[in-house]
Amino acid sequence: MARHVLPQPGLGTYRLKEQAVIDSVTSALEVGYRHLDSAQMYENEAAVGKAIRQSGIDRDELFITTKIWWDNLEPKKFAAAVDKSLENFGIDQLDLLLVHWPSPGGEVPMADYIGALDAARARGLTKHIGVSNFTIAQIDEALTLPGGENIVTNQIEVHPFLANRKLVKLCQAKGLDVTAYMPLAVGKVMDDPVLKRIAEAHDASPAQIALAWIAARDIIVIPSSTKRENQQSNLDAMKIQLSEQEMADIDRLDRGDRQANPSFAPQWDE
């Protein structure tokens, strides 16, 4: 297993706002999470920041990620957006800053926003930088651009029904962490007979088996959860050891079932 920049696992906060995200972050920190994943588009950075302050946990112990939306990729807008995120969280420095989506149709040249991303790192506004929803071709391009050599992760959709093998393999070969969002396929893993069967053998849940399978592929997971027991269960999933046969059985569930595919998404890899 490679040494990761990002702590395993993280807490996803997509669709959680105001008191719901405060409660989710609070309980997650209490059970042991230290990696929190947010984004400007989620409109919850200030609430996450509030939960962090209320927790009393030292800032140095936490790994905070946020993402800049595609309408702020032009360099001046990008810089202002980063400042706004820091203000929202009430912190001086992020641990990881991501470009949330590549510029739709290449409207903003990639060199411009990768440069702006790395400028935030150079200014000390974030320790690490990365991208999200980048394809193989886009990763190849980004890594050749000035500042691109500092990219540490590509955050993409990965779950048993969308293994995303080619992209994962490329990122890992280039030394990047892969971060898996929607690792439970928006709950679909709970109804899968193969995952249910393997879960029974491990006295676990299908969700835990899905997370264990992703983690066994050396991928960081950031499941979202509002319930303390599910957060604890997700942490415990990191200890599950699947057999080669079980891994192979789950591998066969891949059917390209993508959950996140907005109109502005890039042309995905097959």
d(CA 156, CA 152): 13
- Residue 51's pLDDT band, with cuts at 50, 70 and 90, is very high
**pLDDT reported for residue 2:** 53
Q: Using an 8 Å Cβ cutoff, are 67 and 132 in contact?
A: yes
**pLDDT reported for residue 4:** 86
Over residues 91-120, the pLDDT tens digits come to: 999 999 999 999 999 999 999 999 999 999
In this prediction, residues 166-191 reach a mean pLDDT of 98
pLDDT above 70 for 189: yes
**pLDDT reported for residue 154:** 98
In this prediction, residues 189-204 reach a mean pLDDT of 98
Residue 181 bears catalytic tag = no
pLDDT above 80 for 1: no
- Who's near 155: CB < 8 A, 6+ residues apart? 37, 67, 98, 130, 131, 132, 133, 178, 179, 180, 181, 222
d(CA 155, CA 40): 15
**pLDDT reported for residue 270:** 77
Single pTM value for the model: 0.97
Q: Using an 8 Å Cβ cutoff, are 66 and 52 in contact?
A: no
Over residues 119-158, the pLDDT tens digits come to: 999 999 999 999 999 999 999 999 999 999 999 999 999 9
Residue 22: count other Cβ atoms within 10 Å of its Cβ. 20
Long-range contacts of 102-109 (CB under 8 A, 24+ apart): 102/70, 102/131, 102/133, 102/134, 102/135, 102/138, 102/266, 103/70, 103/73, 104/70, 104/264, 108/73, 108/74
C-alpha distance from residue 191 to each of 23, 70, 143, 197, 257 (Å): 27, 34, 39, 11, 15
Task: List the structure tokens of 258.
Answer: 């993508």
Domain residue limits, the chain: 11-184+219-224
Catalytic annotation, pick one of 14, 33, 42, 113: 42
CATH 3.20.20.100 fits 11-184+219-224, yes or no: yes
In this prediction, residues 190-218 reach a mean pLDDT of 98
**pLDDT reported for residue 122:** 98
**Mean pLDDT score of the chain:** 97
